[in-house]
Amino acid sequence: MGFSQSRDGSGVTVVKVEGQLIVGNRQELKDLVFAALDNGERRILIDFSQTGYIDSSSLGVLIGAHRRLKLRGGALVVVCDNEAIVKTFRITGLDGVFTLVRSLDDALDGDAVSAGG
């Protein structure tokens, strides 16, 4: 399991998650995302392109970050091409809450992470 954070040239914070995101390591994701929020970030992209599984407690981290960003007029975008993870978002109805894109390039080249979503 690995996490990394970077910032692209347009000012979007990109948090990459590799491996499985479960209750035992979700705090690291939460720490990265909420530290970015505390630093005033308004555009955050969570990259699950190298993630095999996400549990429900991890979805709670995303929901909390989304709420804080929405209050600030910001956007949280999820990159995922793993159909099992996309299905998790669909089943929970979170595909209607988050902007889901298939690739990092699609997210950064388009307007998916523009302030306000």
pLDDT digits (tens, 9 = 90+) for 15-32: 999 999 999 999 999 999
Please indicate, yes or no, if residue 44 is contained in any of the structural domains.
Answer: yes
Sheet holding 99-101, edge to edge: 2-7, 13-21, 43-54, 75-79, 99-101
pLDDT digits (tens, 9 = 90+) for 58-72: 999 999 999 999 999
**What pLDDT sits at residue 114?**
62
Q: How many domains does the chain have?
A: 1
Please indicate, yes or no, if residue 24 is contained in any of the structural domains.
Answer: yes
10: buried, middle or exposed (CB in 10 Å: 19+, 13-18, 0-12)? exposed
Domain CATH code at residue 49: 3.30.750.24
43-49 average pLDDT score: 95
**What pLDDT sits at residue 110?**
67
**What pLDDT sits at residue 108?**
83
